[in-house]
Amino acid sequence: MTTDRPARDRSRRSADAKPLLEISRLSVDFRLDTSVVHAVQDVSLHVHAGETLAVVGESGSGKSATALSVLGLNPTPPCVYAGGEILFDGRDMLKLSEKELGAIRGRDIAMVFQDPMTCLDPLQRVGAQVAEVLRHHTGVSRAEAREAALAAMDEVGIPDPALRYRQYPHELSGGLRQRVMIATALVGRPRVLIADEPTTALDVTVQRQILDLLVTLQHKHGMAVVLITHDLAVVAETADRAVVMNKGKVVESGDVVDVFDRPADDYTRRLLAATPRLEAV
Ligand SMILES: Nc1ncnc2c1ncn2[C@@H]1O[C@H](COP(=O)(O)OP(=O)(O)OP(=O)(O)O)[C@@H](O)[C@H]1O
């Protein structure tokens, strides 16, 4: 079976360069009443500063469970971290206390999800939610946090930030809400951004704008970006390297050009064959 093959990494990057985030042999189980789901099995991946790594695979392949593990966000129970380590800044994230993780979330490592409505508080003005991240992590004054939030909203392309600042999430379009999420993620100037299907819920034109925005911001700030997606066209347009997952395992990894032009694994070949839009990329 293809998934039992050792994962290949055909990256051209020097083996000496130290990754900013490195997952080694991670295994994650969900222990349910009558069964155990081995959602992530022996997964290793890494990302460097200034690099975009795509984690790609079909629904249920373990992409989100892997990403959520980085910040300890899988629900426990039923989640059990069954093995491996996640190194960030020399520390194993799996060994940190909830308090230590809380200090890293949103400040050093931030996440953007598919549906901003699940993350934004419907009862709070959006600007206050962006500012709150800074207030939480730094000792800045309310006025300073407001200024920084307005600047972040401007940076992510929200027109008339002062007006939008005072609005509630339901008053914004889906694209603007996703921009607010990105502003919330970036206002703390994280070193790693994990984006889990950030454009899946958006229409094609807005998808393109949000992807362009992520690429621009990544280059500007030199962040490491982990982009989780089932959409290979998104990977082709955005990522430097790709990790392909199937049934909880990494089946292939390497530079995007190599993975797409010369896929080594049958599963990757099938994914590519099932993505007609790629012919035009
Ligand atoms: N909280 C949970 N409780 C039980 N099982 C879970 C939980 N979260 C994920 N799983 C299971 O773990 C496996 C991997 O799920 P995961 O969400 O990581 O996949 P994915 O590749 O991100 O897919 P999708 O794009 O659909 O989210 C699936 O079998 C899923 O049903």
Flag whether pLDDT at 136 surpasses 90.
no
What's residue 278's pLDDT? Answer: 54
Q: How far is CA 189 from CA 31, 133, 211, in A?
A: 36, 11, 18
Domain region containing 163: 116-189
Classify residue 143: in a domain, yes or no.
yes
- The model's confidence at residue 177, banded by pLDDT at 50, 70 and 90, is very high
Rounded Cα–Cα distance for residues 209 and 247 (Å):
31
For the chain, give the mean pLDDT.
Answer: 88
Classify residue 127: in a domain, yes or no.
yes
What's residue 277's pLDDT? Answer: 57
- The model's confidence at residue 125, banded by pLDDT at 50, 70 and 90, is very high
Classify residue 123: in a domain, yes or no.
yes
Residue 246 in 3-state DSSP? strand
Question: How many structural domains compose the chain?
Answer: 1
Using CB atoms within 10 Å of the CB of residue 233, give its burial: 0 to 12 exposed, 13 to 18 middle, 19+ buried: middle
Flag whether pLDDT at 51 surpasses 80.
yes
**Cα-to-chain-centroid distance, residue 250:** 17
Classify residue 8: in a domain, yes or no.
no
DSSP string covering 76-119, please? TTTEEEEEEEEEETTEEGGGS-HHHHHHHBTTTEEEE-S-HHHH
Using CB atoms within 10 Å of the CB of residue 34, give its burial: 0 to 12 exposed, 13 to 18 middle, 19+ buried: exposed
Mean pLDDT of 77-104: 94
Classify residue 181: in a domain, yes or no.
yes
- The model's confidence at residue 5, banded by pLDDT at 50, 70 and 90, is very low
Which residue from 170, 157, 196, 252 is spatially nearest to 69, judged by alpha carbons?
196
- Ligand 1 atom 8: residue of nearest CA: 65
Q: Would you call the peptide bond into 19 cis, given omega within 30 degrees of 0 as the criterion? A: no
> Of the ranges 29-33, 126-130, 185-189, which one carries the lowest mean pLDDT score?
185-189
What's residue 130's pLDDT? Answer: 94
The tokens of 140 are what? 């800045």
Classify residue 135: in a domain, yes or no.
yes
What's residue 87's pLDDT? Answer: 97
Give the percent of the chain with pLDDT over 90. Answer: 62
- Ligand 1 atom 5: residue of nearest CA: 30
DSSP string covering 148-188, please? HHHHHHHHTT-SSHHHHHTS-GGGS-HHHHHHHHHHHHHTT
Residue 213 in 3-state DSSP? helix
Flag whether pLDDT at 14 surpasses 60.
no
Q: Which of 27, 30, 228, 271 to mutate to test the pocket of ligand 1 (most atoms within 8 A of CB)?
A: 30
Rounded Cα–Cα distance for residues 217 and 183 (Å):
10
Ligand 1 binding pocket, CB closer than 6 Å: 30, 37, 39, 57, 59-65, 75, 78, 230
Q: Ligand 1 centroid to 59 CA: how many Å?
A: 8
Which residue from 116, 115, 81, 114 is spatially nearest to 230, judged by alpha carbons?
114
- Ligand 1 atom 17: residue of nearest CA: 64
What's residue 280's pLDDT? Answer: 42
Classify residue 197: in a domain, yes or no.
no
- Ligand 1 atom 14: residue of nearest CA: 62
Rounded Cα–Cα distance for residues 139 and 11 (Å):
41
Classify residue 6: in a domain, yes or no.
no
Mean pLDDT of 234-240: 89
What's residue 67's pLDDT? Answer: 95
What's residue 3's pLDDT? Answer: 38
